[in-house]
Structure 1
């Protein structure tokens, strides 16, 4: 007997995601999940997965640089900590994906930092602002390791023994860069978790938008452009729509960027990226805001959106990684 309720597509962003009438979701562009590894054979970097919270479900993959054989338990080597939020439009990709696992093995081997790559809840199953709360909770969990007395029940020894809590950074690419903005603004408005302050923030090809076009953005048909469609898909109830301060941080009435809660910022853009002008727009907005800190813009010519994630061992990706190494250590 034929089903009276055939499975139909009820929402989609073509080639990226399909939502079906039975509640199932397909993400055709998502790369496969891969397990963590102790002593990656190519880089020597170790990784493992940890649970940050059961309710809501928040987890992470932690990466530890290769330790020299002379490291002593009494005087363990300390590394800066980068709490990272992956890209994927808030609705696909993962801290556990092959794409990000390969990137961070290379990145950590070149930068000598601990990376906590956060697995936050995705839309549409969990519409925004769920991911913002998850990433703030992940930052709080990392900060809880700053003293033995603060550490949570699910404490991690890599952070306790090897984390330098004077050098905490947040970073993210694309939608993850948008999350960096939200977390940094919250850090500037609320008491620091466990008195741990964010030293710096890395915005890699950040996703922002607004109803007013800028730079090379199309004036007509904007409501059918991918940045518009993504925002409506992941946060359909957003007050103000595409001019909500979470996606348009320069909207009238948005909190001043002067309140960003960190001391150093770098905004990374690529000349061929459709989001390039938004990254520069954000950089200029921070510059005009009166924010007191070190602000840098890194632009790569001839490259497209998140080229460094897709091709982490390429010459231009290595150039960016070396730049970020200086940002994280100086």
Structure 2
């Protein structure tokens, strides 16, 4: 989730700590941290303080003008803000959410910068599940089949869309650079649709893409070279797709700055990162989580399912200024040390925060990351 979480004068960009995250040595033999499993309450506390990094803020947004209300009054305290991510969302004690991110929706079509053509396909009219497909136009051989990448956007399960400018631009760039047919999933968001709605929508979209029902996929896609990819919460979704039973064969998984956590911080992880994640996770699940943030969907380190990951290869990436960097590395090491028979690869970039590449595609490190993703896909 690329946001700025603020409280008073305390500012934290993304999940970054107030000091750079130290580079952790790669050690596949070290024992993974043992995590406690206390139950995480789904009730937001009035105030949670994490000195030097993040602090939730209680703030009333009720009308002070003295004018009589035109609707039934809200319960006492319903207007209190319990968690605010500036420019992204604001969560109230009542459970309401204000989405503050850019509401612009870009139409599908031909992208002048990359030459990629996109289109929208509705998969389920009842739920509103849809996908946006991206097809590069520079095909060296009209009969050649392209790898198919099913992409899940980030946003803490609360914000984001396959059709917003950030992801539309990124998927155009990915399709052009990697020469892939990309399928960007527009899953339902919490809290209106609590988890597992986002997981279930993503699963349905993955099965749909693998079935090649769409003419673009049938004519230009190679279902035997199927990839899942995502950033932040989208990378979390990608992991969940890999541990579900009955899915298609997946050649590779690309987890860009995955959003994992747990009830307790691990070595090298800012304590506030786990606290913030616990709050957001409980809000997105609203009672459906098992073990709080140690639910295996949020904390794969607490799950024995890593050895049955349903892909042949995996790439995990992070930025060392990201407060989730230690958790990302721990996940990679756990995968590499498990009984999984696939091949895992790791990429970390100095001086970069959480999902930095979405906001600055042209910077040197974003290009390095894109080159690594392209090479990973081409290695199929």
Structure-2-length-normalised TM-score = 0.76
Seen in structure 2, the aligned counterparts of structure 1 residues 10 and 54 have a Cα distance that, compared at 3 Å, is farther
Matched position secondary structure for 1:122: coil
Aligned with 1:13 (options 77, 83, 96): 83
Does residue 93 of the first structure (1) align with residue 166 of the second (2)? no
Larger CA Rg, structure 1 vs 2: 2
Does 2:186 align with 1:114?
no
Give the total of aligned pairs. 306
Range with greater deviation from structure 2 (291-300 or 52-61): 52-61
**Aligned partner of 2:216 among 133, 158, 162:** 158
Aligned-residue CA RMSD (Å):
2.1
| Corresponding residue number in structure 1 for 2:99 | 27
Deviation, structure 1 residue 228:
1.7
Q: Which one of 255, 258, 262 corresponds to residue 210 of structure 1?
A: 262
Where in structure 2 are there 5+ consecutive unaligned residues? 1-67
* In 2, Cα distance between equivalents of 1:264 and 1:22: 43
1:70-118 CA-to-partner distances (Å, cap 9, x unmatched) read: 754xxx2311010000000000011100011111112221111111000
* Secondary structure class of the residue paired with 1:106: helix
Aligned pairs for 1:253-268 within 5 A:
254-268=303-317
Displaced runs of 4+ in structure 1, greater than 4 A? 19-25
Equivalent residue number for residue 337 of structure 2: 288
Residues 251-303 of structure 1, C-alpha deviation per residue, up to 9 Å, x if partnerless? 2xx23300100000010111100111111010011112111011100111111
What whole-Å deviation, never above 9, does each CA across 1:34-93 have from its counterpart, x for those lacking one? Answer: 11122x11110111111112233210111111134x754xxx231101000000000001
Q: In structure 1, which of residues 15, 22, 36 is the aligned counterpart of residue 108 of structure 2?
A: 36
Task: Provide structure 1 residue ranges, at least 5 long, that are not aligned to the other structure.
Answer: 146-150
TM-score (normalised: structure 1):
0.87
CA distance in 2, matches of 1:311, 1:282: 26
Name the CA distance, whole Å, in 2 between partners of 1:263 and 1:22: 44
Which residue matches 1:239?
A: 290
Larger RCO of the pair (alpha carbons < 8 Å, separation 6+): 2
Out of 213, 237, 246, which is 1:191 matched to? 246
- Equivalent-residue separation in structure 2 for 1:20 and 1:270 (angstroms): 31
Match of 2:198 in 1: 131
Structure (1 or 2) with the greater helix fraction: 1
- Measured in 2, the distance between the counterparts of 1:207 and 1:2 equals 41
